[in-house]
Structure 1
Amino acid sequence: MGARRAVLAAVVAAALAVPLTAVSASADDVGTSPKSVLAGAATGLSGAWGTTVDSHGYTYVTDGNAVRVYAPGATGNAAPVRVISGAATLLSSPQGVAVNPAGYVFVASSGSASVSVYAPGADGNVAPVRRIAGPATTLAQPGGLRLTSQGGVLVSDVSADAVVEFAPTASGNVAPRKRLAGPATQIDWAYDLALGSDGALYVATHGGVLVFAAMVDGNVAPVREIGGLTSGLGFVTGVAVDSSKDVYAASYYENMVVVFGPGANGDATPLRRLTGASTQLSAPLGVYLRGDRALVAVQAGSLAVNTYAPLVPFRAPSAVRALGVSGSTKAATRTVSWQAPATSGGKAVTGYTVVVKHGSKTLLSKHVSASTRSVKVARATLSPGTNTVTVRAVNAVGSGSSASKAFKATFSKPGKVRSLAVHGSSKATSRSVTWKTPTSTGGKPVTKYVVTVKKGSKTLWSKTVKASTHKVSVPRSKLRAGTDTVYVKAVTSIGTGSAASKSFTVKK
């Protein structure tokens, strides 16, 4: 392993003498100048490698045998506000660095095959509060370091071609709880690693970026491998992933940071490349993405830490998944359900819009909360035939791509009114006709009733009343002696139902 560590040192030292590799021009190449450059004698930088930014905006840089901490917004020839350095720290060629929510600083030392943990606010020649080191750890040359959402300590072991995970409180000569290694992994010098919001593991290797579904134990193959001539990747020394699952890879020899879109696989065309003299990239090593997507990149060639404006802006969410409509075509209500989009665009989903249409006519439009995954649609809201529901996720950027689902709804004319009756004596000056709503309205609400009185085939009296009316009064003057018959029909938007009839006697 010592020989391989020496090879790595030689590669780093010689990188600036290597001509730039020709890359595809099909990507969106940007020559953005850094927003800020931290460099100069006061910074103390002499061999910077890894970087991170804590929740308060402080920038941590592993450098030489030290960890230098800079104030939020520090730029130019700014001195660090704290430096963890000295014999008591046990630091030896530190590379990866991470800070947990409580402020504890985790540092991977490649020179001593260890991970040291320092108290919040640690400064000067201070001993670590705990240290992971010893044969049981299997560590040979720790490189990148990341913390899982549960506090697990992930370390890329460069010369061992492995990634290991320790428990959040691991200390001493302890075995990792997981170790990803073996020929199936395709790991070839694991320089750095990153974690996606979905738990996916990204490993920077000699020829590209390997993607694993999660941190796993054993000799497990990656689900994707990004690399090849089109990708423009060569010696990848740093990797980061944003909340949209865009992958950022620092390509050391090429003086580039290459960005790939979500799901990139194989010899993928980059989404964007940060490249060119104006970028001031010089043998980039560690990279880190801040919450606002600003990119922080350590430069081995210029002994600087550059910060760039976001290379990929926040986007609207992708389409919702698994959109479906349940319930029969005649069901009183239909349930529209979906799953959250695969990517939120980098901003939290704030809600969903649900629109139901029949052709170009909007039947329902509703906005629901981000936690909602289903909406009930009354049959009465729908139109006969094919309806289409469209659901979009919404975030602070805007509405995402639409997902649509066509579904049918069937209706019928209303049934007969119930309990039709005629009240009053045969000689009364008026007769009252009453009824009740049909048992079945055919799926649409009753809009009106038509009441007709006949003697035989001759119409004596007719009246149309609103849906809320269930009683009419028929003047005796409109009736004829003998037997008359009243007919009542319910009407909906689908049509007029069958008539219910009732005969009654009229005397002179």
Structure 2
Amino acid sequence: MRLPLFAVCLFSAAAYAPVPARADMMIGGFATSAGQNHPLRHFHPGAVGSDAPVGEIDGSNTQLYQPMFGTYEPAEQVVYISDFGGKAIRVYPAFATGNVAPLRVLNPPLLGQTRANAPIPAHGELGVIASNCCIYTYPLRASGENAARIRGLNWGGGADPTTRLNNPTALIYIPATDEYAVKDYPPATPLATHIVFHARTANGAAAPTRLLTGAGVANAVGLAYDAGSRRLFVLRQMPPDGMGIRHGIIAIFADTASGDAQPLDTIEGSMTQLNLPDGRYFSGIGFDPYTSRLMVSNPGSNAAANRVLLFDYTPGVGGNVAPVRVLQGSNVSPYTVGIPFGVPSAPPNVIFQNGFQSQ
């Protein structure tokens, strides 16, 4: 039967309606020896407890050893993975599964052990933490051992402390201010952590644009960012109290905060499950912009005790709130769990066609 023209038009509009926004968590971790692969696992937003991942990138072709951190880049629909022990940034199709080889591998010797990365497609650049000391910027699609830097910010823990970069362990990019930000600490005082901000275009022994210091960021162990609400999330872990408990806090700041600023809000208290016995620690914190969800990972004493705590984030709402979901067990990581990050549950160009999803 032939459909009337208006019916055809309505069908066409419905067929190409975008899939409602949903997102999954992706997470890697640390294998215990260079001969082992650690998978990148992809979890449904409703996953809870020991639920299995909905997919994973795993196998010898992946080259993954210690994929501790990653970021999703939507324009190319890839993930940039910081392989710490593998001393490389490896790039994969974000929605691939199985024994997938990387699309690109960035591994110049200067990169060394890299803890984090920040793709900046608007400028065609990729910021990375290099050799546990510095911020280097490469072309976004650079690859290979001979890739040349665009620029680099020097270590500031030696004779020239100007950059204030001593041991940067987390990196984000703030589009509104065109700055990098890292979690760091001064030499010899790891408990006096601070957030160091640098202009994206800074090079060499440049001074920071600002520092976020003081009690609000003391004992920081992780840093995440939401460009939508322009909020920084600083994960803190306090020294043990008299009962042998290390209290965990998520301190929330405007992305323009500096100096001895106090957080706008915090997530802390017994209901949060952020309080850990002495000797236990966090891998880090991530923010999923697709579900507005904070994700905190906690390695267990063995793989069965690995955990990820997921909190819904609404600006202005904090306090002693319970996580909306807790993932736990070797399904999170077969070894030591890394830092979670958000990806869409399907590519942005997936459409409904005849009742089915297609691309």
TM-score, structure 1 as length reference: 0.48
Q: Distance in 2 between matches of 1:274 and 1:229?
A: 18
2:120 matched to 1:109?
Answer: no
> For the Cα contact (< 8 Å) 2:174–2:227, is it kept in 1?
no
Residue 210 of structure 1, CA deviation: 1.6
Mapping of 1:95-174 within 5 angstroms?
95-102=115-122, 103-109=124-130, 111=132, 113-125=133-145, 126-134=147-155, 135-150=161-176, 151-157=178-184, 159=190, 161-174=193-206
Mapping of 1:69-80 within 5 angstroms?
69-80=91-102
Q: Distance in 1 between matches of 2:211 and 2:346?
A: 30
Residue 196 of structure 1, CA deviation: 4.7
Amino acid in the other structure paired with 2:310: V
Q: Distance in 2 between matches of 1:118 and 1:101?
A: 12
CA 190–179 in structure 1, closer or farther in 2 if over 3 Å, else same: farther
Q: Distance in 1 between matches of 2:131 and 2:184?
A: 9
> For the Cα contact (< 8 Å) 1:131–1:172, is it kept in 2?
yes
Residue 283 of structure 1, CA deviation: 2.9
Q: Distance in 2 between matches of 1:227 and 1:255?
A: 20
> For the Cα contact (< 8 Å) 1:258–1:273, is it kept in 2?
yes
Q: Residue 34 of structure 1 corresponds to which residue in structure 2?
A: 53
Higher relative contact order (CA 8 A, sep 6+): 2
Q: Deviations over 1:424-470 (max 9, x none)?
A: xxxxxxxxxxxxxxxxxxxxxxxxxxxxxxxxxxxxxxxxxxxxxxx
Q: Residue 473 of structure 1 corresponds to which residue in structure 2?
A: none
Mapping of 1:388-467 within 5 angstroms?
none
Q: Residue 311 of structure 1 corresponds to which residue in structure 2?
A: none
CA 273–130 in structure 1, closer or farther in 2 if over 3 Å, else same: same
- Local SS of the residue matching 2:169: strand
> For the Cα contact (< 8 Å) 2:290–2:344, is it kept in 1?
no
Q: Deviations over 1:231-256 (max 9, x none)?
A: 12243312214356432222233522
Q: Residue 338 of structure 2 corresponds to which residue in structure 1?
A: 285
2:277 matched to 1:257?
Answer: no
Work out the number of aligned pairs and report it.
267
Residue 214 of structure 1, CA deviation: 3.1
2:290 matched to 1:238?
Answer: no
CA 197–281 in structure 1, closer or farther in 2 if over 3 Å, else same: farther
Amino acid in the other structure paired with 1:256: R
Q: Distance in 2 between matches of 1:104 and 1:192?
A: 21
- Local SS of the residue matching 1:208: strand
Residue 106 of structure 1, CA deviation: 0.8
Matching residue within 273, 279, 295 for 1:248 = 295
Q: Residue 43 of structure 1 corresponds to which residue in structure 2?
A: 62
> For the Cα contact (< 8 Å) 1:157–1:191, is it kept in 2?
no
CA 230–281 in structure 1, closer or farther in 2 if over 3 Å, else same: farther
CA 54–99 in structure 1, closer or farther in 2 if over 3 Å, else same: same
> Which structure features the higher share of strand residues?
1
Q: Residue 326 of structure 2 corresponds to which residue in structure 1?
A: 273
| Identity between Structure 1 and Structure 2 (%) | 26
Residue 61 of structure 1, CA deviation: 1.0
> For the Cα contact (< 8 Å) 1:242–1:293, is it kept in 2?
no
Q: Distance in 2 between matches of 1:80 and 1:243?
A: 25
Q: Distance in 1 between matches of 2:264 and 2:106?
A: 39
Amino acid in the other structure paired with 2:233: Y
* RMSD between aligned residues: 2.8
Residue 29 of structure 1, CA deviation: 4.2
Q: Distance in 2 between matches of 1:200 and 1:39?
A: 33
Q: Distance in 2 between matches of 1:98 and 1:81?
A: 17
Q: Distance in 1 between matches of 2:227 and 2:308?
A: 18
CA 68–170 in structure 1, closer or farther in 2 if over 3 Å, else same: same
TM-score, structure 2 as length reference: 0.67
> For the Cα contact (< 8 Å) 1:138–1:175, is it kept in 2?
yes
- Local SS of the residue matching 1:191: strand
Q: Which has the larger radius of gyration?
A: 1
Amino acid in the other structure paired with 2:139: A
- Local SS of the residue matching 1:192: strand
CA 72–193 in structure 1, closer or farther in 2 if over 3 Å, else same: closer
- Local SS of the residue matching 1:140: coil
Q: Distance in 2 between matches of 1:181 and 1:12?
A: 34
> For the Cα contact (< 8 Å) 1:51–1:288, is it kept in 2?
yes
Amino acid in the other structure paired with 1:60: Y
Q: Residue 225 of structure 2 corresponds to which residue in structure 1?
A: 194
Matching residue within 250, 261, 265 for 1:220 = 261
Q: Deviations over 1:94-139 (max 9, x none)?
A: 111111123311101352x101111131010112111111421101
CA 256–281 in structure 1, closer or farther in 2 if over 3 Å, else same: farther
Q: Distance in 1 between matches of 2:171 and 2:270?
A: 28
> For the Cα contact (< 8 Å) 1:110–1:142, is it kept in 2?
no
CA 76–265 in structure 1, closer or farther in 2 if over 3 Å, else same: same
Q: Deviations over 1:149-205 (max 9, x none)?
A: 2332121226451111111211111111111112x2143133332235121110123
Q: Residue 407 of structure 1 corresponds to which residue in structure 2?
A: none
> For the Cα contact (< 8 Å) 1:109–1:141, is it kept in 2?
no
CA 77–244 in structure 1, closer or farther in 2 if over 3 Å, else same: closer
> For the Cα contact (< 8 Å) 2:271–2:321, is it kept in 1?
yes
CA 146–213 in structure 1, closer or farther in 2 if over 3 Å, else same: same
Q: Distance in 2 between matches of 1:187 and 1:29?
A: 31
Q: Residue 416 of structure 1 corresponds to which residue in structure 2?
A: none
Residue 292 of structure 1, CA deviation: 4.7
Residue 140 of structure 1, CA deviation: 1.1
- Local SS of the residue matching 2:338: strand
Q: Distance in 2 between matches of 1:293 and 1:216?
A: 35
Amino acid in the other structure paired with 1:116: Y
> For the Cα contact (< 8 Å) 1:197–1:243, is it kept in 2?
no
Q: Distance in 2 between matches of 1:110 and 1:132?
A: 12
CA 38–216 in structure 1, closer or farther in 2 if over 3 Å, else same: same
Gaps of 5+ in 1: 1-10, 14-27, 295-508
